[in-house]
Chains A and B, each alone.
Chain A
Amino acid sequence: MLTQAPEVPGVAAQRVPLVELRNIHVAFGGVRAVAGVTLDLFPGEVVGVVGGNGAGKTTLMRTLSGARPPDSGQILVNGRPVTIGNPRDAKTFGIETIYQTLALADNLDAPANVFLGRELQTAATLDDSAMESAARKVIGRLNPNFKNFKTPVLRLSGGQRQAVAIARAIHFNARALIMDEPTAALGPAETAQVHDLIRQLKSEGIGIFLVSHDIHDVFDLSERISVMYHGRLVGTVSKNDVTTDEVLGMIILGKPPTKLTRQELAELHG
């Protein structure tokens, strides 16, 4: 029942994962936030990363985005071991992250945020016009109604801010995308938009780690689901092989479906 590879037509022949995390450990002081987790991600695939609060999902993803390098373990990109010591490293490997907090500089406008850390320049100066022009294109693709390109993003709505954060991740030809709770702060219409976007990115061959609390989102969008429990990986399952109840069991009880008893499953429904 535990799978190693996605069942996606077209990429089945391609056996090298886009990204592999092997035996990752992260500790904060004495607290083991991530303990020996191994995950992989193939092109054109969405892997849902789920778990309760404090399960270590975000911390695990931060090792891949360069925000908090792992204490031990190996990261491979296209089968080659790499060192990701900071966010810049991750970006050079085509790994982009949309953080739950969005990580926007609130006092800057949308184009400045899209290009933050990767500004376009003319010979000696920032090329603000070129950045605005590019930002208009990429944000317009996500949200055609977006008009406020000159106002600080502080004054934008939640959905608009989300669009800026997503635009920043997809503008630079990302190959792997980490989305941490991308719809947590959004209304139904905007959530649907993000879902459409994820499907579109998937069809373009981008691999996506989707971190979410919402089990239905994950079932809607993912091929495989990795469940974390108290810093450990409970298991990675193929969506078609499990029910939502079984995944809930993994999240809440920290046991793979094969070890779940009928009684435990029944108790989940209270």
Chain B
Amino acid sequence: MGAPVPNEANAEGGSARSLLTAVRSALTPAASVLRSLEIDTRMLGMLAALIVIWVAFNVLSGGTFLSARNLWNLSVQSASIAIMATGMVLIIVSRNIDLSVGSMLGFLGYTMAMFQAVWVPQSLGLGLEQPYTWVVTVVIGIVLGAAIGGLQGFVVAYGGVPSFIVTLGGLLVWRGLLFRYQQGQTIAPLDRTFQMLGGGTVGTNVGALGEWPSWILGAVLCLGIVGTLIASRRRKRRYGFPVRPMWAELLVGAVTCGVVLGTVWVANSYPLPPAVAEQYAQEHGIPTPPGGLFIPTGVAFPVVIMLVVTLVVTFLATRRRFGRYVYAIGGNPDAAALAGINVRRTIMLTFALMGSLAAVSAAVQTARLNAAVTSLGVQNELDVISAAVIGGTSFAGGIGTVPGAILGAVVMQSLRSGMVLLLVDSPTQDIVVGIVLVAAVGLDAVFRRRVS
């Protein structure tokens, strides 16, 4: 997806081409700089598009869009889609598709709600609010998610049924099964600790890190980034490979750390609601200053979860054999098999991973709702697939990145959130998102043809 997305939407075929040529020639001097930075130009284009979207909505909404409050909410809304999009990237990269993620999410969320609100307190007679409930619930959800995702993957890989069909079946089956639990009644309320996973506030339990832990998280991430850059440079030096010029290294480090710390700063600029803040201050013996209380909310737990998921899946995708094989299979399945790769097992594992990620998202979504409802996760598969595709994942296979999908999820959610602020009705939102999806992929195809 290139920078000129918004302009491109109103341009016609012919002028689109000339615009494209103009953009490319304008970018030529920047190309050598980009080469030194070794940054993916696609990612840069997406970032540029995101900035354009943000600034445009901010202007149109009179400054509301880029307020700490809206950005904080945007981060929470993006998280559950982004979590699943990381897994969807690997599925699509290996030339498959998973249409069942929304239904899996519903089924898994419902199961987790049943466990904590019905089975433990009533069936086992242990009562509500057990200290271990939240963690056992999440573990059960993830294991069950891996099992049902793995089952679909097994049918795809070993049964030879196309993934489109298998997961289309899954979409119906998992949604249908959910109604077997309690004839589709809403399951609520949920465990209070569990609810914090959704980023909401229950009494004085805030589903976010708070001020100092957020800064510490930011600092740890920055140290990680700097450490990775240094380690990579050293390794290249040791093998005598070319390294980036020092200024490029510093710029990359500074910008990424800046983004991380900026995010923390925004999250910490969003105060707790006054009522919560007051109660919190009382409990912690904080005196109320004359200007009123300002207790920072900090980075929301769903965002922390998304961060962990992103790191784990990126690690799997880029640093482990599993990921290498997923990309190899997507690039050339025959070559992968001839190289001795266990193609079937790898495919099955991608689906199992997708199922467990659906469980993580299910935990976030049910926790946020403080209930399991039958419509949980409906149409999420479309958002997840769109996020992956807007993020540069190709249906031809072999191409796509986890960070790209995260950005794609944020782009999608920014559009929706911005339109909500502008009071655009829901059907119109769908129309816009649909057009953006097709335009983004179309533009990408044009750019790719030009490059190759």
A→B interface (CB under 8 Å): 65, 67, 86-88, 91, 97, 99, 101-108, 112, 116-119, 121, 124-126, 129-130, 132-133, 152, 155
Contact = CB atoms under 8 A, between A and B. Distances in A.
B235 A129 contact: yes
Given A107-B331, A108-B327, A108-B328, A116 B398 contact: no
Contacts of A129: 235-236, 238-239, 241
Nearest to A90: B340
B340 A86 contact: yes
The 6 residue pairs across chains A and B that have the minimum distance between CB atoms: A107-B398, A107-B331, A88-B340, A117-B339, A105-B331, A103-B335
A223 B236 CA distance: 45
Interface stretch (B115-123, B130-138, B174-182, B318-326): B318-326
10 contacts: A87-B340, A99-B338, A101-B334, A105-B398, A107-B330, A108-B327, A112-B324, A129-B239, A132-B239, A133-B239
B452 interface: yes
Contacts of B315: 125
A105 B340 contact: no
Task: Classify chain B: how many residues form its interface, as a range.
Answer: 20 to 34
Contacts of A88: 340
A185 to B, nearest CB: 16
Contact of B338 (A97, A119, A152): A97
B330 to A, nearest CB: 7
Interface in B321-362: 321, 324, 327-328, 330-332, 334-341
Interface of A is mostly: loop
B399 interface: yes
Contacts of B452: 155
Interface of B: 235-236, 238-239, 241, 315, 319-321, 324, 327-328, 330-332, 334-341, 397-399, 452
Given A119-B321, A126-B324, A103 B331 contact: no
Contacts of A101: 334-335
Contact of A126 (B319, B337, B340): B319
A132 B241 contact: yes
Nearest to A91: B340
B335 to A, nearest CB: 4
A87 B339 contact: yes
Interface of B is mostly: helix
Nearest to A67: B338
Given A99-B338, A103-B335, A133-B241, 13 more contacts: A104-B335, A107-B327, A108-B331, A112-B324, A116-B324, A117-B339, A118-B339, A121-B321, A124-B320, A125-B315, A129-B241, A130-B239, A155-B452
B320 A117 contact: no
Nearest to A88: B340
Contact of B320 (A112, A126, A152): A126
Contacts of A124: 319-320
Nearest to B93: A107
A262 to B, nearest CB: 45
A103 B334 contact: yes
B319 A107 contact: no
Nearest to B236: A129
Given A103-B334, A129-B241, A116 B321 contact: no
A65 B331 CA distance: 21
A1 B286 CA distance: 103
B328 A116 contact: yes
Contacts of B338: 65, 67, 87, 97, 99, 103
Contact of A125 (B238, B319, B331): B319
A132 B335 CA distance: 20
Given A107-B398, A125-B319, A126-B320, A118 B335 contact: no
A152 B241 CA distance: 18
A117 B341 contact: yes
Contacts of B339: 87, 103, 105, 116-118
A87 B337 contact: yes
Contact of A103 (B330, B332, B398): B332
Nearest to B335: A103
Nearest to A165: B335
Contact of B336 (A91, A97, A116, A132): A116
A105 B238 contact: no
A135 to B, nearest CB: 11
B241 A118 contact: no
Contacts of B328: 105, 108, 112, 116
B238 A116 contact: no
Given A105-B335, A126-B319, A117 B398 contact: no
Contacts of B324: 108, 112, 116, 119, 126
A118 B340 contact: yes
Nearest to B238: A129
Contacts of A133: 239, 241
A8 to B, nearest CB: 30
A267 to B, nearest CB: 40
Nearest to A104: B335
A184 to B, nearest CB: 17
A108 B339 CA distance: 13
B55 to A, nearest CB: 34
B398 A106 contact: yes
A155 to B, nearest CB: 7
B340 A117 contact: yes
A152 B394 CA distance: 15
A116 B320 contact: no
Contact of A106 (B236, B239, B241, B332): B332
Contacts of B332: 103-107
A30 to B, nearest CB: 22
A103 B321 CA distance: 18
Contacts of B330: 107
